[in-house]
Amino acid sequence: MLSASSLRISKDEFESQREMEGLGMDVGDHFAEFSEGNLLESFIDFDAFFVGDGDVLPELEMDPEILAEFSAGETMNSSLASLDNQNISDKATNKEEYENKVCSDSGSGSGSGISDSNSGGGGDGEEILKQASNNSKAKKSKASQGKRKVKKVDWTPELHRRFVQAVEQLGVDKAVPSKILEIMGIACLTRHNIASHLQKYRSHRKHLVAREAEAARWRSERRERYGDGGGGKRKVISPWLAPTLGYPQMAPPPIHHFRPLHVWGHPPMDHSFIPIWPNLPHPPSPPPPWPPATTTPPPHLHPSFWHHPKDPNALTPATGTHCFPQPLTATRFGSPPIPAGIPPHAMFKVDSGVSLSTGRPPLDFHPSKESIDAAIEDVLSKPWLPLPLGLKAPALDCVLSELQRQGIPKIPPSSA
């Protein structure tokens, strides 16, 4: 675990990643059964991101009741927004904490209490609860319909952190909305708010468990079949293996070092601490025997189509990954066990955070490393699933490129 003091994310980083909803859910303990080569192993104590310094002051949705009083909370919203920025920029080093009372505060309007408290206490410490309407641009269109603007809770990282903390304190199975709310002590939240959030929390968590279980199963099966890598005693070579691709001689896919996908409930990662893809020259040496030399990209899949000829390296390493579109002839990657019970029709989904159905050639498209990394992990954890050939979005191209760059073999269609 990284120490809290050394971690820090910039406002920009935070804001750009906020949408990913990260926060400090320490799942490690919950997944002990997947200990080995566990994707979750590399989880960081993300709380550190938020307790260290008050870089970011998450916003909390306006108290529903207060909001209700405001036919249009725009002025207040804007003022709060600016205030928020100020606080972010000059953030004192003290710890901040949500203060419940602010929520319930009857103090009408502008006040909407922003309060500071400060104490040296560790862990929970103190935080500032700031309220603001996240739907600042409250659609008058809708409001005009006579319908009152829905008051939504903005589950900021800090707020969510508290939520998670409460859930863990109660125990995942014993956590019920009312108790969670009690522990959280955020007056402006309702039981329903918690319930809704809890629902999503559980859902994401369930998926995570399933995913990890699946990956672990495949991992163990693969090791069983090909040896643990170090020992090197290879076992039965399945017909899936394509000798022509040289898979057995190649380094196994580095799945063990993959960091986990972004998991809901976790904060965004600081790339500076998690160098996944070193900026190696492309292609790396020795070049993998993939793709076959015979493959010739169709015009529309040629790099020049996706990237501006004058700026082949347009993608900034810090924020994106070079895309080297490949022909979409590849179907599967990695070593190819065929787990029983996997429906053949199942389709792999590239969870890249962008729509892959548009196929729009965006010259300025910069899929994040995280996205691509996540997608690659998906591919490798489910090599038996075919890639959706219909998807030609740059994100997919990037995934394919990176697979190639990492020397991960393609499973020839013939072995399907």
Q: Where are the alpha helices (DSSP H) in 267-361?
A: 303-306
Q: Which listed range, 26-34, 189-197, 290-298, 394-402, lies at the site for DNA (CB under 7 A)?
A: 189-197
CB of 54 to DNA, least distance (A): 21
- Site for DNA contains 118 (CB under 7 A): no
Cα–Cα distance for residue pair 39/21, rounded to 1 Å: 19
Cα–Cα distance for residue pair 352/371, rounded to 1 Å: 4
CB of 254 to DNA, least distance (A): 26
Q: Write out the two tokens for 166.
A: 């409460």
Cβ atoms of 352 and 399 closer than 8 Å: yes
CB of 113 to DNA, least distance (A): 19
129, amino acid identity: L
Which listed residue (85, 244, 279, 355) binds DNA by CB under 7 A? 355
CB of 265 to DNA, least distance (A): 10
Residue 369: in which H helix or E strand, if any?
helix 369-381
The smaller minimum CB distance to DNA, of residues 18 and 91, is found at 18
The pattern of x and - marking residues 80 through 109 that bind DNA according to CB under 7 A reads ------------------------------
Cβ atoms of 373 and 259 closer than 8 Å: yes
- Site for DNA contains 347 (CB under 7 A): no
The pattern of x and - marking residues 134 through 173 that bind DNA according to CB under 7 A reads xx-xxx--x----x-xxxxxxx------------------
Which listed residue (13, 21, 59, 402) binds DNA by CB under 7 A? 21
Q: Give which of 181, 69, 176, 195 is closest to 133, Cα–Cα.
A: 69
Cβ atoms of 41 and 219 closer than 8 Å: no
Which listed residue (8, 30, 91, 200) binds DNA by CB under 7 A? 200
Cα–Cα distance for residue pair 400/387, rounded to 1 Å: 10
- Site for DNA contains 18 (CB under 7 A): no
The alpha carbon of residue 47 and the mean position of all alpha carbons in its chain are separated, in whole angstroms, by: 16
**Which residue ranges make up the site for DNA (CB under 7 A)?**
19-21, 61, 134-135, 137-139, 142, 147, 149-155, 176-178, 191-193, 195-200, 202, 264, 351, 355, 357
